[in-house]
Amino acid sequence: MTAMKKFFVLVMATFLATLAMDAQQRELRMGCVQQAVTTRGEEMYSLPAPYVFDAERTYRVPVILVAYESLGFSMDDAARYYDRLFNERGFNEGVGRGCVSDYFREQSRGRANLEFDIYGPMVVDEPPKKSIGTNYGFMAQRKALTALRATEERDFSIYDWEGDGEVNLVLFVFAGFTGNEMTGYVWPNSGAFSGLMPGGIYASFSSTSCERIDDENLCGIGTIVHEFCHYLGLPDIYPLPPATSYSTVDEWDVMDGGNYTNYGWCPPNLTAMELMYLGWDMPVELDEPVRVEAMKSLSEGGKTYMIRSGYYRNEFYLLENRQQEGWDYGIPGKGLVIYHVDFDEVAWRNNKVNVSDSHYRYDLFHADGLNYRAWDGKNNGKDNTRWTMEHRLRSSYLSTAAYPYTDALTHEVNARLTDDSKPAATLYNSTDQGRQFMGKPITNICMSTDGTVSFNFMTDETGIEAIDYLAIDNLRFDVQAWFSLDGRRLSGKPAQRGVYVNGRRKVLVK
């Protein structure tokens, strides 16, 4: 590491620690990417470029357990326990599908085959809880490495994946609570690192997570997955200062709030954007009118779709079918999830995706019209009654964001995203006609009982459903069907006052 880089890292760490104190005072979330790294020429980025794995290799990663003189791990044999949590196929204490290695093997479609070696616990003479500033555990990390070098004879060059003289990354797991749940304890974080490992080799990146969420629950694998994803190149999706919302897509995404789904035991699948960014899966780009039929869920390996702006190619929509199964068992809802992405490589690499309240570069189209702030009135993520199932599963927040959405009061179904729908198919970057709409309608979205999704792309401009009386029920009209006056079929008799169509006639519902 050059002297200039060391100086830049020190400045960045001090600056971000100051931001952290301010964010905590305002009950905002701090980004967990703490320091800048050089990954291309002399340019500085907060995150490495996406890592390209060879499916024929096994990649070994050191994990250092850190305990305190005044606070140890809660389990009798912490090294054995964490070996199982990281490596044992199928090991999971919640509803997730397995261990840390299982998660990345599945998400990468077999590319990322990881083996974690557990060291420690290394006991340090640091306080587990600090009263001033944000505790990132930096000093405890250094002391743990000093203790490790004094006792470990293994040559850590086995963790140098490219043979370039540096350990790619080292993971730390701290005893005690996680600082973003219990103030003063170590705040999970990742970033550039210059730690001397046994064998005289330096590690260039570190990720830190913690043992417990509260007195009764361990952290599972979710935060470990989240922090490891930063090394792979994925940014935080939740808003960062100066943006003021606590969350963007919440538990739909492990890089937002999904790392704590099921107390961290069932982090959701990586999204279409994350899979594409890492090169693990590519969406099908739609540019001609088509009816997409029987789209399988992300958990079942279903296809995802991209719709690009015709004017600015880095602004696009991503469509994925999310069902509450597999790693997605605990997500808030189900159906066709549509993301609006305004991609900028510098923003992604610098962990600044959602830093402006007026311009989220990654967000959902909310079929119900309700963004995160509409669900979380206090905007602090601390409502512990929001989950609809025990063990922090299926949050009510953003639970009706997927398409199609049925209004519980009016029974009107929102099954379209067009220039004139609510929400509308908007763009940040204007077209050459000065319009800020996509102009490529997605209509007639439906979800079958088997969980597959179908939709029309550019084949129904109006979103109005034609009522084919002769084709219904062997030439007999379906008298149970209700429609709004603009032709949209409702899920049942509306409860809201108004004029509707039922049985070939207009009906006033009082």
Question: What would the DSSP string read from start to end of 446-507?
Answer: EE-TTS-EEEEESS-SS-PPP--GGGTTTT---TT-EE-TTSPBBSSS--SSEEEEETTEEE
Single-letter residue type at 162: E
Nearest CA to 47 among 168, 170, 189, 192?
192
pLDDT digits (tens, 9 = 90+) for 301-338: 999 999 999 999 999 999 999 999 999 999 999 999 99
- For residue 107, count CB atoms less than 10 angstroms from its CB and return exposed for 0-12, middle for 13-18, buried for 19 or more: buried
- The gap between the terminal CA atoms of the chain, to the nearest Å, is 74
- d(CA 482, CA 494) in angstroms, rounded, equals 8
Nearest CA to 80 among 66, 95, 94, 65?
65
Beta bridge partners of 328: none
Beta bridge partners of 364: 339
Residue pair 367/337 in contact by the 8 Å Cβ criterion? no
Nearest CA to 272 among 262, 287, 257, 283?
283
- For residue 422, count CB atoms less than 10 angstroms from its CB and return exposed for 0-12, middle for 13-18, buried for 19 or more: exposed
- For residue 131, count CB atoms less than 10 angstroms from its CB and return exposed for 0-12, middle for 13-18, buried for 19 or more: exposed
Beta bridge partners of 455: 292
Q: Which residues of the chain have pLDDT under 70?
A: 1-31, 34-44, 460-480, 485-488, 504, 510
User: What is the structure's pLDDT at 479?
Assistant: 57
pLDDT digits (tens, 9 = 90+) for 418-452: 999 999 999 999 877 778 999 999 999 999 999 99
Percent of the chain with pLDDT over 90: 78
Element (H, E) at 364: strand 362-364
- d(CA 124, CA 145) in angstroms, rounded, equals 10
User: What is the structure's pLDDT at 7?
Assistant: 38
User: What is the structure's pLDDT at 42?
Assistant: 38
User: What is the structure's pLDDT at 507?
Assistant: 79
Most distant CA pair in the chain: distance in Å?
Answer: 85
User: What is the structure's pLDDT at 497?
Assistant: 72
Residue pair 441/416 in contact by the 8 Å Cβ criterion? yes
Gyration radius from the chain CA atoms? 25
- d(CA 415, CA 85) in angstroms, rounded, equals 41
Q: What is the mean pLDDT of the chain?
A: 89
Domain boundaries, the chain: 3-233, 280-463, 466-510
Residue pair 431/309 in contact by the 8 Å Cβ criterion? yes
State the pTM of this model. 0.86
- d(CA 111, CA 52) in angstroms, rounded, equals 9
Nearest CA to 381 among 246, 219, 226?
246
